[in-house]
Amino acid sequence: MASDGWKRNFHAVWPSLFATSMGLMAVLPTLPLYIEERFGINDERELAVWSAWIYGVAPLTAALVGPLWGALGDRVGKKPMAIRANIAIALTTALMPLAGAPIWLLLMRVVQGAFAGYVAPSMALASQGAPAALHGTVIARLQVAMAAGTFLGPFLGAELAHWFGRAAIFWLTSGFTALAALQLALMARDERPENVEGSTFLSALRESGGALLRNRVFARLLVLLVVMRLGQNMLEPFVALVVRELGAPSWLLPLCPTPALAIDRTTGIAFGVLAVAQFVFTPLWGRLADRHGPLRGLSLLSLGLGLILALTATVTSIDGFLLLRAAAAATMAGSMTLAYAAVSKRVHERRRTLAFSLVQSCMQLGFALGPQLGALVATFGVEGDVGPDYRRPFLAAGALCLLAAAGMAALRRMPSTIVD
C-alpha cells in the first residue's frame, strides 16, 4: 500500500462506522421497552432478566467467536471481515421484529453476535499502513465516527418509535448497516496478507494467539479490560428503566406530546451524552495516548469512572442522573481508543487484526456479562412486588473500575516488548 494509502481506507471506514453505530444505537437504548411491549412482560424482575440476556448475548457470542474472525482476517484480509460483519448485522436485525417470543429474539441476537464484530476489522483496516506515531490519533478519529452515530441513533430511534412503531427501528438499522457494507466494498483497499507456507488456519491461529498471550503485559491487559468493561456496562441495558423510574425532566415534558415519548427522548439524552463526550474527549484521550502512554490513560480513566459510578448510586433526580451520566461519558470516551492504542504499540502489524479482535472480545465479554451481573445484583434478595434496586449495581460497578485502575497502574511498571 502506498505511504498515504491508509488515508483512503480511513475515509472509507469512517462513514461505515458512523452508519452502523447510528443504526445499532437506534435499537439498543430502548430495547427493554420493546421487549416489554412486544411480548407483554409485566413483571419487573422478569423484564430485567430478559433485557440483560437479550442485550448482552450478542457481545457474548461475539467475544467467543471474535478471535477466529480476527485470525481469519490476518489470513484473508481485513476488508472481507469488515464487510461480512456489516452484512450479518443487516440480515439479523431485519429479522428481529418477526420474533414471536423473547427466546427467538435472544437466538437472533446470538446469531448476530457470532457473525458481527465490525469494530476490530474496521479499526485494523483503517490503521493499516498508518505511521505508528499516529495510531492513537487515527483510532480516536474513528471513535468520533462511532460517537456521531451513537449521538444520532437514540434520538432517531425515539422519533421512529413514536411515528411508526418500535419495529421500524430494526429495519432502519438493517438499511444503515447494508449501506456501510456497500461503502467498504466500493471504497476500501486491502493489502494482500502474506502467505503462510505449510500452515493451516487453526495452526496459524494457535501460533499467533500463543505468541500474543505469552506476552505478560498483553495478557494481563486483556484481563484488566474485562474487569473495567464489566463495571462500565453493568447498568447500560437498564438505563431506560432507570429513566422511567426517575421520570422525564420537567424542562423536557412541555416538548413531548406523550409521556412515553418523553421517556424515550430522555433515554436518548442519556445515551446521547456518551456521543457528545466522545466528540469532545476522545481526541484528547488519543493525544494523551500518543504523548504520555495509553496505559497511564487507562489507569486515570478507570479511576475517574469508578468514583463517578459510585456517586451515581446516591442520585434521586433525573437531572442529577443525567449530570453524572455526562461526567461518566467523559471518562468512558477514551476506553476503546486507549485499549487499541496500547495494543497497536506492542504488536507487529501482521498480528494486529487478531490482537485487536482479542481486545474487542475482552471488551465485549465485559459488555455481555456486565448486564447479567447488574441484573443479579439489582434483583438479589428482592421478593414479592418489590422491583429491582438499580442503585446497588452502581456501587458494584464503581468498585470494579477502581480495581481495574489499580491493575493498570501496576501494569505500567512491567517491562514491555513488541509481539512479533
**Residue where the block lists cell 456479562:** 369
Are the C-beta atoms of residues 353 and 121 closer than 8 Å to each other?
yes
What is the per-residue pLDDT across 234-293, written as a single tens digit (0 to 9) for each?
A: 888 888 889 998 999 999 999 889 988 999 999 989 988 887 887 788 778 877 777 878
Residue 198 within a domain: no
Residue 334 lies in a domain: yes
Beta strands (DSSP E) in 265-370 are none
| pTM above threshold 0.75 | no
Pair 105, 403: CB distance under 8 Å? no
Number of domains, the chain: 1
Length of the chain measured in residues: 420
Q: Please tell me the predicted confidence (pLDDT) of residue 207.
A: 67
pLDDT of residue 194: 61
Contact 37, 184 (CB under 8 A): no
Report yes or no on 194 lying in a domain. Answer: no
Q: 193 lies in a domain?
A: no
339 is a domain residue: yes
> Is 257 buried (19+), middle (13-18) or exposed (0-12) by CB count in 10 A?
exposed
- The set of cell numbers assigned to 56 is 448482552
Q: Where are the alpha helices (DSSP H) in 99-256?
A: 102-115, 119-127, 135-164, 167-187, 201-213, 216-233, 239-246
Contact between residue 52 and residue 372 where contact means Cβ atoms under 8 Å apart? yes
pLDDT at 306 (0 to 100): 95
The Cα–Cα gap between 5 and 9 comes to 7
Q: What was the pLDDT predicted at 126?
A: 81
DSSP 250: T
pLDDT at 262: 92
* CATH number (domain holding residue 400): 1.20.1250.20
Return d(Cα 416, Cα 63) in angstroms, integer: 25
Place of cell 437531572: 319
Distance between CA atoms of 86 and 17, rounded to whole angstroms?
Answer: 10
Query: Low-confidence residues of the chain, pLDDT below 50?
Result: 1-2, 420
Residue 208 lies in a domain: yes
Report CA-CA distances (Å) from 60 to 35, 202, 291, 350, 364.
19, 22, 34, 26, 6
Evaluate whether 78 touches 128 at the Cβ level (below 8 Å): yes
Tell me how far apart the alpha carbons of residues 116 and 20 are, in angstroms, rounded to a whole number: 11
What's the rounded Cα separation, in Å, for the pair 314 and 300? 23
The phi and psi torsions of 347 (rounded to 5 degrees) equal -130, 135
pLDDT in the model for residue 287: 79
Domain extent at residue 25: 5-188+204-411
What's the start-to-end Cα distance of the chain, in Å?
20
Residue 88 within any structural domain of the chain: yes
pLDDT tens readout for residues 90-135: 999 999 999 999 999 999 999 998 887 788 788 878 877 777 667 6
pLDDT at 302: 92
Cell numbers for 246: 426517575
Q: How far apart are CA 96 and CA 109, in angstroms?
A: 8
Q: So what's the pLDDT on residue 307?
A: 95
Q: Does residue 272 belong to any structural domain of this protein?
A: yes
DSSP codes joined into one string, 77-121: -HHHHHHHHHHHHHHHHHHGGG--SHHHHHHHHHHHHHH---HHH
pLDDT for 1 equals: 47
- Give the span between the Cα atoms of 112 and 88, in whole angstroms: 6
